[in-house]
Amino acid sequence: MKSERAKVLHEILGAPVLSYVLKAVREANISDILVVVGYQADLVRKATGDGVKFVEQKEQLGTGHAVLCCEKALAGFDGAIFILAGDAPLVSAASLRAMLDTQRTTGVAAVFLSASLENPSGYGRVLRAADGRFIRVVEDADATAQEKTIREVNSGAYLFHAPRLFEALRKVRTENVQGEYYLPDVLPVLGKVAVVQAQDATEAMGVNSRRELAALSEILRRRILERHMDAGVTIVDPGTTYIEDEVRIEPDTVVEPFSVIRRGVAIGPGCHVGPFAHLRGAAVLEEKAEVGNFVEVKKSRIGPRSKAKHLSYLGDATLGADVNIGAGTITANYDGVRKHETFIDDGASTGSNTVLVAPVRLGRGAKTGAGAVVPKGEVRPGSVVVGVPARPIKKRKLARAGRGRG
């Protein structure tokens, strides 16, 4: 990766690579999880979330050695163990369940997941006999020119019977180019091994470079977009739309090009987002809300039919129904020490280039004039404020001004 950051901590769509593997494990109803840590162990621990135990690999002597480091933590366990690579984020819960079903029905000591890749370079090749029987896995660095033409590769996902696994690992040798303990080398030792081939070959893809990180990000991004489109959301141009995982979008919402929607955002039915909108920090858009070009919404709730169409920032804000946010409006939510909230009640509206200095509330039906700077406090319902700092306009003056225009 040419990076000081541990590979599994590089992000795909706003989350560490490792988090996708853990998500698949949890979706497969696997509850006891060990994560082997080495480089930047403390940072990896922080990134995994709750419900995970850790084993430290002080020396990086290969995948087989990493598993041996878990032997003490698994002492007395007589069940099945999944072993997965932390840098292979596309492995699916469905494939893990298929591996477990295969192990239960066949009784073999080991099952591993393979895939057929157009470009298998860098991956361990699956060697088979003429009758299709599995022989062994040969790592790319140790493969002959003929073996490198094989397209079926080892995904790095395994299922073993625990006691037999550790017995076999002690028989593994380091007579290879890397001088390491390769986990695949236990497979011939264990005897009969079952192979489950992934229906989606991308499950075998790992992250070993920035290019591969971008390629896997594109695959996951496209899957997310397709899921939303299949659920009734219009994505005008999927090629220019960025939506992270764990985003909820209701049917009949339209997302315009160059919009960025980050995890934790919830969008109701019939909303309109973008183009060039940025939604983040658990932002919520209620039914038929509209967020337009160059509008950023962070940790805010936009009420039903409310609109922020142009060049605005709404942070730590709660908008009621039928609110209209004028172009250039911002909520000044940070005082240099703490974040403060803004409340804009039903039917209120802001003029262009309004600054709302939180904590502040615009009452029901209140209005601000163009360029108004509203200091912390409350603007009374139905009133109009203008100027810097914003002050109310008296109703008598408004009436006189209206007669003059006539």
pLDDT value at 225 more than 50: yes
The pTM (predicted TM-score) of the whole model is 0.89
Helix (H, G, I), strand (E, B) or coil at 385: strand
Catalytic residue among 65, 161, 272, 310: 310
pLDDT value at 179 more than 90: no
pLDDT band at residue 61 using 50, 70 and 90 as cut-offs: confident
Angle at alpha carbon of residue 294, lines to 288 and 298, rounded to 5°: 70
pLDDT value at 311 more than 50: yes
Say which residue, 399 or 227, is predicted with more confidence.
227
What is the average pLDDT value for the chain, to the nearest integer? 93
* Sheet-wide strand order for 290-293: 234-235, 254-255, 272-273, 290-293, 307-310, 324-325, 349-350, 367-368, 384-386, 391-392
310 in active site: yes
Look at residue 110 in the predicted model and tell me its pLDDT: 93
Domains of the chain by range and CATH? 7-210 (3.90.550.10), 212-394 (2.160.10.10)
Q: Exposed, middle or buried by CB within 10 Å (0-12, 13-18, 19+), for 265?
A: buried
> What are the tens digits of pLDDT across the range 18-60?
999 999 999 999 989 999 999 999 999 999 988 899 999 988 8
Look at residue 401 in the predicted model and tell me its pLDDT: 52
pLDDT value at 406 more than 50: no
